[in-house]
Amino acid sequence: MNLWSRIRENAVLYIGILVIFYMLAPIVVIAIFSFNDPTGKFNFEWAGFTTQYWAGAFDNEEINRSLWLSIRLAFFTSLGATILGTLIALALVRYEFFGRKAANLLIVIPIATPEVVIGAALLSLFVYASAALGFTTLLIAHIMFSISFAVIVVRSRLIGFDRRLEEAAADLGAAPLTTFFRITLPLLAPGIAGALMLTFALSVDDFVISNFNAGAEVTFPLYIFGANQRGIPVQVNVIATILFAVTIIAMTFVILQQRRAEKMVEKRADDDKKASVAIPI
Amino acid sequence: METSPARPDAERSGSPAAAGDGRGSVELQGVTKKFGTFTAVDDIDLEIGDGEFFTMLGPSGCGKTTTLRMIAGFEQPTQGEVLIDGQDVAGLPAYKRPTNTVFQNYALFPHMTLEENVAFGLKRKKVPKDEIKRRVADELERVGLSGEATRKPAQLSGGQQQRVALARALVNLPKVLLLDEPLGALDLKLRKGLQVELKKIQEEVGITFVYVTHDQEEALTMSDRIAIMNKGRIEQCAGPEEVYEKPATTFVAGFIGVSNLLPARVISGSEVAIEDGPTVSTPDAAGFTTGEELFAVVRPEKLEVSTPGQAPGDRPGIEGVVESSLFLGTATQLGVTVADGSKLTVLVPNASEEERQRLPGGGARVYLSWEPEHMHLVTESPGEDGTENFQPMQTQDQGDQTK
Ligand SMILES: Nc1ncnc2c1ncn2[C@@H]1O[C@H](COP(=O)(O)OP(=O)(O)OP(=O)(O)O)[C@@H](O)[C@H]1O
Ligand SMILES: [Mg+2]
């Protein structure tokens, strides 16, 4: 009875731990197996500890080529999608125009559409336009499906944007372009940075759409999928673990930033109390 | 340049864009602003002189901010002209106007330090770097924030942010400074202190201030002239004393402190008949046509309470029944209902406890009298019943202080 009531009291905690374990287990396995020393072609059974694949993480030419392609692709994708997404978000939030409501809805459609459909549709479009499949078609495809995410991230920042700051800038003599670069853009920066990171990650990660539109190019996910048939080199585990670590560090950075902003707000409230006492009138 | 570098006068004479060159006038001619079918500002005319501390006072939603925004250039009038320094500024965008604004919420740039905030306007004007540095430092010193120059706005208290907002605008020495309820977000104590400071600064720099507030006390204590607005119109524009002593309309009388309104009719060029009351001779009547229906205003502290039948001399007066009695510390406030059913407020100063004990209690019949010169005639505000705007007592005390 005692035990039962204890379990009941802490049920939320236990379930939470289980869920977290469920979510993290695959990643932990990948990290552990990056230290494996497999005997055959397949890296599925523990055969002994080694750091040789960490030392030679970038020894596999094929992996390097695909990784480099994915990084280049993600770089240009995040740049293109974020620039376009920011401009679209500005238009959607700031301007009244015919069809604005519809556009606000349509912008999420690519997110809701199955990737297979987007991939196939893009492929038939490229074929119809007789475009040679390759880096360019990949880039076009990636920017296309990333824009929606960029718009959503920047838009949420814009909705909370205090337009009076721009009026204040104009009031102080700043022409519209100056106001945009000195006030609007810096204040949107966290949203823009978020959009850059998110679209970069989406692009590196994409398999389905790339699979349709890559032509002879092999991105990192496409390489892993192909290698799966012949046996995945341990380096893949190593690189996956590195990517994961980079993500964690970036996230920690964002969270710390957030904490600092919150502390500032608290401090300000404190100061207000002090000030109303301190000023002798 | 004979004074210390902290003196604002010193750099004003040194700057080519100096204000106080006698041309900070603002004129509104028949200005109307419509939002859709709603008229926010309705055909107002204003002339604000150079170096004047001019206040626009009125209840929430009466169009104060909209008027200010048309002067600043954030809104274009639907009709009418805005002239700054005698120039029609129609079509001139905000960033080209010789005005600066202190916003109600301060609108400080959160990503810049105080220094950068204050320097923003000067940089846009391409003022030389070392001059910017000097003027920013001087301005921050003036508002007492030299030590915080490198902090961000979020690290400051509300009162400090308000000072930065003021410094950011003043450092540019605009011809006209527009202030939209700059003290609205601060607590009472802080507000009182900053009122004094603001007034001092205005006198020091001599820039035209157009000040918006819905706080009548603030308006009365700080302004050279006050425009009282209601529903997009200006009901009266005059000095604080005149506004208080000689309100033009029932609305003004009600909005500037507690006022007793007695319905009356003009019966000759020198006499009015109070409804259900005496006929009083007053020079005020000359300004109205015979037969006109209007209101006689008597301030609560000008009414004298006595027992009916024992009225002193030939003072005009009216009988009523005491409904309520409220002890306010320095005074006692009586609510008295008179013959025509309207309710009057009487303020009796509390000289001593025993005197207070002698005051009539609830239900007592009393005679309220006043000196004819303390009675003032007002017309009814268009579409407005001034009695709705009776203000709480604190306002009355403030009114007293300004006289
Ligand atoms: N952009 C706008 N679109 C539609 N209506 C507006 C707009 N700006 C102001 N109004 C309306 O015009 C009226 C006057 O507004 P304004 O902001 O000038 O009032 P205010 O006197 O400054 O009031 P407060 O003391 O509350 O600040 C209000 O009823 C407001 O709803
Ligand atoms: Mg306002």
Listed in sequence order, the residues at least 6 apart from B150 whose beta carbon sits closer than 8 Å to its beta carbon are B113, B114, B115
**pLDDT mean over A74-90:** 95
ipTM surpasses cut 0.95: no
Q: Do B103 and A174 touch (CB under 8 A)?
A: no
Interface probe for A, chosen from B75, B95, B125 (most Cβ of A below 10 Å), is B95
pLDDT 10s digits, A112-129: 999 999 999 999 999 999
The rounded radius of gyration (Å) of the Cα atoms in chain B is: 25
Contacts of B125 in chain A (CB under 8 A): 173
For residue B217, what are its two tokens?
A: 């006390």
Confidence category of residue B383, pLDDT binned at 50, 70, 90 = low
**Residue B61 CA to ligand 1 centre (angstroms):** 5
Does residue B370 carry a pLDDT above 70? yes
Contacts of A164 in chain B (CB under 8 A): 103, 105, 107
Say if residues B159 and B144 touch (Cβ distance below 8 Å): no
A54 CA: distance to closest CA in chain B (Å) = 42
Say yes or no: A260 contacts chain B, CB-CB below 8 A.
no
Calculate the alpha carbon distances from A104 to A99, A185, A199 in Å: 9, 22, 19
Query: What's chain B's average pLDDT?
Result: 84
**Residue B68 CA to ligand 2 centre (angstroms):** 9
Mutation test residue for ligand 1: of B28, B32, B35, B211, the one with most atoms within 8 Å of CB:
B35
Ligand 1 cavity residues, CB under 6 Å? B 35, 38, 40, 58, 60-66, 214
Q: How many of the other CB atoms lie within 10 Å of CB of B310?
A: 7
Give the start-to-end residue ranges of the domains of chain A: 62-268
**pLDDT mean over B156-175:** 91
Whole-number percent of chain A with pLDDT over 70: 91
Does residue B171 carry a pLDDT above 70? yes
Q: Do B109 and A162 touch (CB under 8 A)?
A: no
Does residue A268 carry a pLDDT above 70? no
- For ligand 1, atom 9, which residue shows the shortest CA distance? B66
Nearest-by-Cβ selection for B101 from A162, A171, A274: A171
Nearest-by-Cβ selection for A281 from B101, B108, B193: B193
For residue B11, what are its two tokens?
A: 């750099």
Does residue B172 carry a pLDDT above 90? yes
3-state secondary structure of B335: strand
Q: Which has more pLDDT, B157 or A143? A: A143
Does residue B340 carry a pLDDT above 60? yes
Calculate the alpha carbon distances from A21 to A26, A28, A29, A36 in Å: 9, 9, 11, 21
Contacts of B109 in chain A (CB under 8 A): 165, 168-169, 183
Closest to B64 (Cα-Cα) out of B178, B216, B229:
B229
Distance of alpha carbon B393 from alpha carbon B348, whole angstroms: 13
- For ligand 1, atom 31, which residue shows the shortest CA distance? B61
Does residue B385 carry a pLDDT above 50? no
Interface probe for A, chosen from B109, B188, B195 (most Cβ of A below 10 Å), is B109
Listed in sequence order, the residues at least 6 apart from A243 whose beta carbon sits closer than 8 Å to its beta carbon are A204
Does residue B84 carry a pLDDT above 50? yes
Query: What's chain A's average pLDDT?
Result: 87
pLDDT score at B125: 92
Confidence category of residue B54, pLDDT binned at 50, 70, 90 = very high
pLDDT score at B231: 92
Model's pTM, two decimal places? 0.76
Closest to A261 (Cα-Cα) out of A160, A155, A149:
A160
Does residue B86 carry a pLDDT above 70? yes
- Residue keyed to tokens 């192909």: A226
The CATH class for the domain spanning A62-268 reads: mainly alpha
Nearest-by-Cβ selection for B190 from A162, A167, A279: A279
Listed in sequence order, the residues at least 6 apart from B269 whose beta carbon sits closer than 8 Å to its beta carbon are B285, B286, B290
Closest atom of ligand 1 relative to the B64 alpha carbon: 21
Say if residues B319 and B339 touch (Cβ distance below 8 Å): yes
For residue B402, what are its two tokens?
A: 């300004």
Maximum separation of any 2 CA atoms in chain B, in Å: 80
Q: Do B100 and A167 touch (CB under 8 A)?
A: no
Does residue B391 carry a pLDDT above 60? no
Say yes or no: A279 contacts chain B, CB-CB below 8 A.
yes
**pLDDT mean over B254-271:** 85
HEC secondary structure over B47-94: EECCCCEEEEECCCCCCHHHHHHHHHCCCCCCEEEEEECCEECCCCCH
Q: Do A279 and B159 touch (CB under 8 A)?
A: yes
Distance of alpha carbon B62 from alpha carbon B44, whole angstroms: 12
A161 CA: distance to closest CA in chain B (Å) = 12
pLDDT score at A1: 62
pLDDT score at B76: 94
Distance of alpha carbon A205 from alpha carbon A221, whole angstroms: 7
Mutation test residue for ligand 1: of B32, B38, B55, B218, the one with most atoms within 8 Å of CB:
B38
Least confident of A117-126, B217-226, B229-238, B320-329: B320-329
pLDDT score at B291: 86
pLDDT 10s digits, B285-335: 888 888 888 998 888 888 888 888 776 677 888 888 998 888 888 888 889
